[in-house]
Amino acid sequence: MIATSDIAILEFLLRGGARRKQGTLVTLTGIIGSSPRALGAQMAVATDGSFAGSLSGGCLEAAIVAEALAAHSARCPRLVRFGAGSPFIDIRLPCGGGLDLLFNPAPEPQALEGVIRSLRDRQPAALALSLAAPFAQQAPPGKPAGWKKGAFLRPYRPPLRIVALGEGEDLAALVRLAAAFGTEAIALTPDRLITERLRCEGHEVVLLETNDRRPGLIGDDRTAIVSLFHDREWEEALLPWLLRLPVFYVGAVGSRRRHEMRYKMLRRQMPHEDVAARLRMSVGTIPAARDPSTLALSILAQIVAVDAASAVGERAARDAGDLPNQSIGAH
């Protein structure tokens, strides 16, 4: 995995590093100027100084670890500013901004475990993090990150999931790259050889025996589906069903002529639905990607960009002043 996921950070916090002693949860609760991480970004610091996650481009992590160890030793949460306006005159951010960080030593395990369970069940979750006991409580999901009534609300979304259908090396390359990036990657394929290879590598694979049986797939707003099939029979059997799932992205690779044939087929099978609005005929960000690795990178980049668009829009609104300031004192 390239980056550390929310689940991995919370599980690392519960495990407690090499000493098996629960450490400190550090949360980005305020941004002055610019920041390499979004509001609500988190880092878990174990009592041995090891950590998971990051809150800067590498310029603050050592100082954050030292502060987290001090907070854990004192058994007392603290809110600390780094950068502009900070009492630490020897720590300045290259961008000239400031970050407010909330340090919660040994937050309530039940709350952390509840969030992990929800995320594994692909349900949203939230934590209310406070300077006063209880330091971490589960909260109703659905609200953006920010200070609410003396606690910082940290929402969590289920992990990004990519369901890839197809055969051969194109399918294998996308599943491998998506998993390395940190998404939940699932392959649906009639290809027994690729099924065996991917399963041996630890990937989740559903072997499609016949094209008239639907796999038990439940969609959600963080699931993307990509068809890499060159076999028209498989695609014609499965694509109409996939388009009706509540997912945020459905794409299918192919030439312009293949797209035209696909669209006509879907219009016959789905005469009352807006196929053009649901199915991406232009898949990927790299034109004419022809080798499996480049095609996989092209598709993954597009899916991640579409998924991130809502979060980027929220940050832009906050920067423009449409959302309340989230710095120290905003509570």
Share of the chain above pLDDT 70, in %: 87
What is the per-residue pLDDT across 242-276, written as a single tens digit (0 to 9) for each?
998 999 999 999 888 888 888 888 888 888 778 88
Is pLDDT at 140 greater than 60 in this prediction?
Answer: yes
Q: If you average pLDDT over residues 18-40, what whole number do you get?
A: 88
Q: Which position has the higher pLDDT, 20 or 277?
A: 277
Instruction: Write the pLDDT tens digit of every residue in 185-205.
Output: 999 999 999 999 999 999 999
With a cut of 60, say whether residue 330 has pLDDT above it: no
- Considering only residues 107 and 85, tell me which one the structure prediction assigns the higher pLDDT: 107
pLDDT attached to residue 251: 94
Percent of the chain surpassing pLDDT 90:
61
Query: Does pLDDT of 1 surpass 70?
Result: no
Q: In what order do the strands lie in the sheet with 151-156?
A: 136-138, 125-130, 151-156, 146-148
Q: Please report, as a single letter, which amino acid is at residue 191.
A: D
Summary mean pLDDT of the chain: 87
Q: What is the pLDDT of residue 327?
A: 41
Ordered by where they begin, the domains of the chain are 6-156 (no CATH), 161-310 (3.40.50.720)
What's the pLDDT at 34? 82
Q: What angle separates helix 192-200 from helix 168-181, to the nearest 10 degrees? A: 20
Instruction: Give the pLDDT score at 227.
Output: 95
Q: What is the pLDDT of residues 54-88, one digit of tens each?
A: 998 787 899 999 999 999 999 999 999 887 666 66
**Residue 156 in contact with residue 140, Cβ under 8 Å?**
no
**Residue whose pair of structure tokens reads 């390499």 in the numeric block:** 36
Q: Which range (223-232, 293-302, 303-312) has the least confidence?
A: 303-312
The Cα–Cα gap between 221 and 248 comes to 5
